[in-house]
Chain A
Amino acid sequence: MNDSKQTTLEAEKVSHNYGDIHVLENLNFKVNPGELVTIVGPSGCGKTTLLNILSGHLRPVGGKVISNGIIRTVYQQDGLFPWLTVGENISMGLRSMSEQERQKELDELIKLIHLEGFKDHYPHELSGGMRQRAEIARALAGESDILLMDEPFSALDYQTRLRMRRELVRLLALRQRTVIFVTHDIEEAAQLADRVFVLSKRPATISREFIIRSPKPRNLTDNAVIAAMKAILSQLGLQPWDGNTSHIFDENSKTN
């Protein structure tokens, strides 16, 4: 199935522009198997463009993406097919299995995301949080290797969002995946990431990159999370750097 060691996702000198607008400028990175990388950056800096390039929906103008494994994207909202039930949506990635295997996997996934009893409901009959959980289950189903998450919780209310972060950590512990998680939510990045890429304004480059070593799940008020938030905020120019390089996370600052 998803043998994490085989999974690769790598950007090599990736640049992109829409006509005269340079969006991405020489991005280089490699995502390790089973790692969760969050990408934060000012709005409109090209985060979604980067995801579209990584998923293969968009060809970069310069450079290339090297990937190995099945890539699936989790969208902000409305990614589920409204004409299919929750069960049918999740089964989309299980079509190659035998009927028996499929039922088993489907039931397991439904249980995993705590949507028992909602298998035959349609997406419009569910709350936003339930829909996103179903969408994550769909992306996890079967043999996916890499998840690209495009602000998957940003359409939810604050408390649901907090709960969903915990859910995601729990699910990924059970079903390991390589994840790129794009968000504008700094808390979310600090709570979920193994590694954070902070993008600069357009044309976006990785202006800073650091590792958060603290184990997960992390509480919003953990020192490691707060320290990471400080680093991100100061890098985005939203808060002055207080000079306190607490040793909660390793830094390897990069300016490409």
Chain B
Amino acid sequence: MKQTPRKKAEIVLPMIVILIFLLIWYSITYFKLVPAYQMPGIADVAKSFKEEVMAGRLANDVIASMWRVTVGFVISAILGIPAGLWLGQHTRLRYALTPMFNFFRFLSPLAWIPFAILWFHIGDKPAVFLIFMATFFPLAMSTMTAVASIPSIYFRVAKDYNYKGTELLTKVTFPAVLPQIITAMRVSYGIAWVVIVAAEMVGCQDGLGYGIWDARNGLRLDTAVTYMVIIGVLGMLMDRLLSQLTKLRNVRWGYER
């Protein structure tokens, strides 16, 4: 009984905010508070949206961007999470590598654009490379920190019950940090989605970022807004999807403190 009104509020309240936002947007263009060439109206955007869908460009761009992000992100996770697990267990290595990792973590991935193009030319590869550079360091760092801060009691218990080597890693260390790894994945996926738009503005012939760039070149702000809406909505949906991982029963404990 308690759940239902809350669920309702969770849907209704954001709807109201969106409606108000649309109303403000509509008023600005309707009363011409800003010249039309600086701010497209809702109707223009809707029309452009229809055009892009009909021409098949939108679907193509969505698939291209999702593919690049997914490939880059999966490579990051496959390398970054084990690297973090390993580093977290070796104090000296951790000391040795933390400053270097931090350096790269704070280096905007966009700074790698010249190298990405020089090394990987055009197409998917430079974008995938940029996604990798954007997400590898935060993932590895978070995993490493999480491992380093596992309460020592778990390892004592593990020793009492004879967990060693691979079994210790897969049955104790990994599940102990899994909630934090999931959080780190959500955060770095967010970064990846932001980076892809910028990455595709150079060296790509398709993708959502390219779509915005192309719209700008043609002075089609309505198309640009269409792409912005798609980028935002897709990002939200992907985060929703990743957040489903936090509902797994064997990680719930990590979020209920």
Chain B residue contacts of A82, Cβ below 8 A? 253-254
* Most central of B153, B178, B252 by chain A CB within 10 Å: B153
Interface of B is mostly: helix
Q: Which of A68-76, A100-108, A158-166, A204-212 contacts B (4 or more CB under 8 A)?
A: A68-76
B51 to chain A, nearest CB (A): 50
B154 touches which of A55, A57, A73, A81 (Cβ 8 Å): A81
Q: Is the CB of B250 within 8 A of A57?
A: no
Of all chain B residues, which has the CB nearest A148? B160
A131 to chain B, nearest CB (A): 12
Chain A residue contacts of B176, Cβ below 8 A? 81, 83
CB-CB under 8 A for A55 and B160, given A75-B153, A81-B154: yes
Report the interface size class on chain A: 10 to 19
A251 in contact (CB, < 8 A)? no
B249 touches which of A81, A95, A122 (Cβ 8 Å): A122
Per the bound structure, the CA–CA distance linking A79 and B251 in Å amounts to 17
CB-CB under 8 A for A83 and B178, given A73-B156, A73-B160, A122-B250: yes
Q: Is the CB of A93 within 8 A of B161?
A: yes
CB-CB under 8 A for A83 and B153, given A55-B160, A57-B159, A124-B256: no
Q: Is the CB of B175 within 8 A of A81?
A: yes
B49 to chain A, nearest CB (A): 45
Of all chain B residues, which has the CB nearest A139? B160
Per the bound structure, the CA–CA distance linking A95 and B176 in Å amounts to 20
Per the bound structure, the CA–CA distance linking A57 and B155 in Å amounts to 10
Q: Is the CB of A71 within 8 A of B160?
A: yes
Chain B residue contacts of A79, Cβ below 8 A? 153, 157
Per the bound structure, the CA–CA distance linking A122 and B249 in Å amounts to 8
Interface 0/1 of B226-257, CB less than 8 Å to A: 00000000000000000000000111111010
B215 in contact (CB, < 8 A)? no
B35 in contact (CB, < 8 A)? no
The 4 nearest A-B residue pairs measured at CB? A82-B253, A83-B175, A92-B161, A83-B250
Q: List 22 A–B pairs whose Cβ atoms lie within 8 Å, in order of A's numbering.
A: A57-B156, A57-B159, A72-B160, A72-B161, A73-B156, A73-B157, A73-B160, A78-B151, A78-B153, A79-B157, A81-B157, A81-B172, A81-B176, A83-B176, A83-B178, A83-B250, A84-B175, A92-B157, A122-B250, A122-B252, A122-B253, A124-B252
Name 19 extra pairs, CB < 8 A, besides A78-B153, A81-B154, A83-B250: A71-B160, A73-B160, A75-B153, A79-B153, A79-B157, A81-B172, A81-B176, A82-B253, A83-B251, A83-B253, A84-B250, A92-B157, A92-B161, A122-B249, A122-B250, A122-B252, A123-B253, A124-B252, A124-B253
